Every structure is written in C-alpha cells, then in structure tokens.
Amino acid sequence: MAIVIAQHRGIEGSFRDYIGAEQAVMAIELIIIDRGKKEQLQSQLQSQRQRQIDELYKQVENDEVFQAAQFIQTLKKLKKVLN
C-alpha cells in the first residue's frame, strides 16, 4: 500500500523538487526490496524493477539537472512493472 501511495503522489507531481524526489526513490526502493524478500520474485521481474529503480536514482544524482517531468515518466514505468 505504501508504494502505491508514493507512486501515486509522485505521478501526480508531489515530488517536483529534487529533495522530495530523492527521498521518494529511496523509500520506493526499500519497499521493493522488502516485497522482493517476502515474495521470492522471479529474476526477470526483479531485473525489470531494478532497472527502473536505477533509472530513478540516475535522475536524482544531481540536483542541478533534476527534471520533474522525466522523474514522473519513470515512476509511471515503474508502476507498470509493479502491477
């Protein structure tokens, strides 16, 4: 449930600032890690999720070039992988 809320808020634009987006990425990753441990996810699904998390981290590497619209698009892709 927490990951759905974080994704929904992110897609709606709640994390348009760099710091909020960075915190959201870390929270989403921790939830996915915990979910993966509980569900024993298939390796392909884990790989897809990890690619999206890596992409989110790339987007928050540098606050000088952070783009909220791109961040939202990646959250949408992650949402598809998680559903």
Residue 22 contacts residue 29 (beta carbons within 8 Å): no
Residue 66 contacts residue 18 (beta carbons within 8 Å): yes
- In this structure, the chain runs to a length of 83
Look at residue 74 and tell me whether its pLDDT is greater than 70: yes
- The two tokens of residue 77 are 């892709």
33-70 pLDDT, tens digit per residue, is 777 665 555 666 677 888 888 999 999 999 999 999 99
The amino acid that residue 24 corresponds to is: A
Contacts of 55 (CB under 8 A, 6+ apart): 74, 77
Query: What is this structure's pTM?
Result: 0.61
Question: Could you state, in order of their start, the residue ranges of all structural domains in the chain?
Answer: 2-82
